Structure 1
Amino acid sequence: MPGSDNSKAPIPTALVGFDWQADLELITTAAREAGRVALSFFGQSPEVWWKNEGQSPVSAADYAANLSLETVLRRARPSYGWLSEETDDDPSRLDCDTLFVIDPIDGTRAFIAGKNTWCVSVAVVHKGRPVAGVLVAPALDEEFAAVLDGQASRNGAAIRVSLAPSDGPLKIACAQDMIAGFQPAIRSRIERVEHVPSLAYRLALVADGRIDATLVKRNSHDWDLAAADLILSCAGGSLTDLAGEPLVYNRPDVTHSVLLAATNQVLPALLQSLTPIARS
């Protein structure tokens, strides 16, 4: 529920007996190696192609990092499904209770431009819910991680969301045109954060208390969100749709509508403040 602290929620009975900590250790090792692979291309003008009718760039670094992850993870967990931005979607993933959800480089545009705000995003999703997640941002020397019912961390140290005052300024990362989607009482409190190209890293900034919220435009994907969603939840925040509902992963359609991520303290007020403009 919006406004509640899910970080201490009991593990559902269906999840008892699974060693998600072992999976976290596995994906962390794999993500670090993929980060090293990607970093070897960073600033070296890697070859770039365009996909989705020329809307999205993909570089040689994306493919190399994806191959690194796939080689390690599919060998270690052959029964797990696979969903990656840089692998053709295999509908058989829908038959898997557990799968890896991968973005080998989240923030490819930043990567290509030589900006350091990109990361490797790896999650384990079980029955629609992230249960282990890691973000490795090698150009920033940062690593975020969480496991179900655990504490989110940055570089091994526990992190928590900010304690934003109920009536004070709110640091919100969103596109300039989305600010108009908030009612005036909230809009006047917003301190807009400069664009953060990686959506996963932006969510991690909320988890780390550096910003209070982010409003996400429609058409984000499972691979942008799954790892960061868990990290945010374990840090005392939530990522929801505009009805306040948590996200379900590994559906036939892996895209999402407009989303809001925030500390649990301010999420209800932000959701109530959103106008039809923001919801369209």
Structure 2
Amino acid sequence: MDPRIQLLKSFAKPSSEICNSYFSKNAKTWQKADKSFVSEADIKVNDFLLSQIQSHFAEDAILSEESPDNPKRFTAEYTWIIDPIDGTSEFIAGSPEFCVMVCLVHKNKLVYAMVAIPQENKAYFGGPAKSLIELDLLSNKETRLVPKEINSNTLVISKSRAAKEISIFAEECNLTTFSCGSAGVKVCRILQGKADYYIHINKIAEWDTAAPDCLLKSWGRGLTDLDGEELKYNKSSFYHQHFFYLNQSELLQSAQKIFQLN
């Protein structure tokens, strides 16, 4: 096994244990300059991941939500894109719908990723041309996940920030909706067969999309922009304006008519 992938897979259990040790225990929280919240658990997981990567692959770059951006990522062969806790607001509120996300990128191409859901004791691993694996963190049992035939026509949406346009799209396309917290957990609901599609029409960072996108690519098609083009990574501005996971061409065509995005 590639040593970087081997290291990445080793992160699931200890990072989940850190999260669970702080969950529902009044972890210290504060607001960052951008008004988003962070907790001491975010920082502990971030410190753990950075220390592991830097001790094994000091030549690699890191792009993390909880660390300053480093221009080293523009010249390094490998970059690790990290969200120590995706869904910090869920974590702080005592909701189990948060996750730890790590994605390995070669230049600007997604290679392999992990999304771990600590409160469910599950982790998901995969990448382009690689098997999608669900790991039970209690039993260490690995299960290979394969795409399920779409039959529920379910669109996963945000619990708190579902846009009116998305509701209109779902109604016009006869889709049912399923609300969930955290971008990473939403994609895992697709991998679990509980949802089929996902739309996000607001600005979002690469650390929120890299690992979920990489996992979906195990099944072929990942996240796209409104034109159906793959998302780009390791950019100077590490934000996307939106993304879509609509793996039926007629749905994407309907989205192009409804969503007028720049």
TM over 0.5, shorter chain: yes
Alpha carbons of structure 1 residues 40 and 191: separation in structure 2 relative to 1, 3 Å: same
Whichever residue aligns with residue 206 of structure 1, its letter is: I
Q: Which residue of 1 aligns with 2:65?
A: 85
How far apart are the structure 2 equivalents of 1:115 and 1:180?
A: 24
Indicate the larger mover: 59-68 or 147-156.
Answer: 147-156
The corresponding residue for 1:272 is: 253
C-alpha contact 1:132 1:147 (8 A) present in aligned 2: yes
Q: Which residue of 154, 174, 181 maps to 1:171? A: 154
Unaligned runs of 5+ in 1: 1-18
Distance (whole Å) between structure 2 residues aligned to residue 183 and residue 103 of structure 1: 29
Greater mean deviation of Cα atoms: 27-36 or 39-48 = 27-36
Shift of the alpha carbon at 1:35?
1.7
Match of 2:176? 191
Which residue identity is paired with 1:161?
A: P
Aligned partner of 1:216 in structure 2 is 200
Measure, in 2, the Cα distance between the counterparts of 1:75 and 1:34: 16
Match of 2:114, as an amino acid?
A: V
Q: Which whole-Å deviations, capped at 9, do the CAs of 1:111-155 have from their partners, x for residues lacking one?
A: 101111111101100121110101111111111001442111112
Assess, with a 3 A threshold, how the Cα gap between structure 1 residues 171 and 80 changes in structure 2: closer, same or farther: same
Residue 76 (structure 1) aligned with residue 62 (structure 2): no
- Give, in angstroms, the shift of residue 46 of structure 1: 0.8
Q: Cα deviation per residue 1:34-55 (whole Å; 9 max; x = unaligned)?
A: 221121111111111112442x
1:230 is aligned to 214
Task: Measure, in 2, the Cα distance between the counterparts of 1:208 and 1:235.
Answer: 13
**2-structure distance, mates of 1:77, 1:178:** 44
Task: Report the counterpart of residue 257 of structure 1 in structure 2.
Answer: 241
Displacement after TM superposition at 1:217 (Å): 2.6
Q: How high is the sequence identity, in percent, across the aligned residues? A: 27
1:188-208 deviation line (CA, Å, top 9, x unaligned): x110112x2210121122233
For residues 67 and 118 of structure 1, what CA distance do their matches in structure 2 show? 18
Aligned residues between the structures: 251
Long gaps (5+) in structure 2: 136-141
Q: Distance in 2 between matches of 1:40 and 1:178?
A: 39
* Runs of 4+ residues over 3 Å off in structure 1: none
Which whole-Å CA distance do the structure 1 matches of 2:52 and 2:205 have between them?
23
